[in-house]
Amino acid sequence: MTDFIKTGVIGHPIAHSKSPLIHNYWINKYRLNGTYKAIDIHPDNLQNGVGALINEGYSGFNVTIPHKIAIMALCDEIDDLAREIGAVNTVTIKNGKLYGTNTDAYGFVQNIKANATDFDFTGQNALVLGAGGAANAVVYALLQEGAAQIIITNRTKEKAQKLAQLNPDKIKIIDWDLRNNVLDDVGIIINTTSLGMTKNPPLNIDISKTQNALVTDIVYAPLYTDLLKVARNNGIKTVTGIGMLLHQARPGFKLWNGVVPSVTKELEDLVLS
């Protein structure tokens, strides 16, 4: 009998996380001996909470809101990727030590590659709407994949300016109010804001002004946001956000369980149900 592999996701709140559904689906599918739990850790108790996971023999865990930055101080090692993105979302525990990485950029890129197979990031101009945590990973991914120029626009300009420090030569910032003016200058448009999410206001943008861009949203509830619906109705190529969530889970699963899991339609339907 192989060892029982304990993994999970830490966050606060955590009840609505889709990660246990994804990882336990894979654990069953690949007939592995283990489990993946949602673990609520209050921000005031992060160190003790993580210490308990080490003591209980966990192999690793995902990290979600609000711990993605705070966990960095507790890691023994953080890889270059996570350090550049400025957040850790995946931790492996080995001999009581914590190794942090970030798989959000990977998730973003793999989602596009899997669902827009003829799209090539190299040399593209990109428009990134938003400058929060998710935008960080998206901008990093665009740079890694060889995008030519990245335009960032965010309601709070200072946050866009901070994000531009990743590569000031390639990143340009425009005012949030001017977002409609650049829609036809780019090959990919990514909404990383929470606008358009169920119960949130819609993203107000005249997406029909773009002609050749691929439009994608990191929001996946609803799966087809107004942004994606309007784009589709105008014959614009779109990729939904659910694949980013599914693909970002794969490297952690591989690190802890030794199996590269696949993203399937069955898994996507399960997570969306």
Least gap, CB of 200 to ligand ATR (angstroms) = 7
Of 213, 215, 214, 223, which is closest to residue 245 (Cα–Cα)? 223
Q: Is 68 noted as a catalytic residue in this protein?
A: yes
Query: Sheet of 238-239: strands edge to edge?
Result: 171-175, 149-154, 125-129, 188-191, 214-217, 238-239
Residue found by looking up tokens 């023999």 in the block: 57
Can you tell me the distance from the alpha carbon of 139 to that of 85, in angstroms, rounded to the nearest whole number?
A: 9
Smallest gap from Cβ 264 to ligand ATR, in A, equals 26
**Closest separation in Å from C-beta 195 to ligand ATR:** 5
Question: What distance lies between CA 133 and its chain's CA centroid?
Answer: 9
**Gap between the Cα atoms of 81 and 65, Å rounded:** 19
Would you give the distance in Å from CA 182 to the centre of its chain? Answer: 25
Q: Measured from the CB of residue 131, what is the shortest distance to ligand ATR in angstroms?
A: 5
Nearer to ligand ATR, 104 or 268 (CB): 104
CB count in 10 Å sphere of residue 24: 16
Q: Toward ligand ATR, which CB reaches closer, 203 or 239? A: 203
Instruction: Name the minimum Å distance from CB 202 to ligand ATR.
Output: 10
Q: Tell me phi and psi for residue 40, to 5 degrees.
A: -85, 115
Q: Quick one: DSSP state of residue 155?
A: S
CA-closest candidate to residue 217, choices 226, 146, 268, 209 = 226
Q: Which residues bind ligand ATR (CB under 6 A)?
A: 130-135, 154-156, 159, 192-195, 201
Which residue, 135 or 164, is less far from ligand ATR as judged by CB? 135
Side chain identity at residue 7, one-letter code: T
Q: Which is nearer to ligand ATR, 150 or 195 (CB)?
A: 195
Q: Tell me which residue has its CB nearest to ligand ATR.
A: 132
Q: For residue 80, what are the β-bridge partners?
A: none
Catalytic residue among 18, 37, 68, 159: 68
- Taking the least distance from each CB to ligand ATR, the nearer of 156 and 264 is 156
For strand 60-63 and strand 97-101, is the pairing parallel, antiparallel, or unpaired? unpaired
What positions carry a catalytic annotation? 68
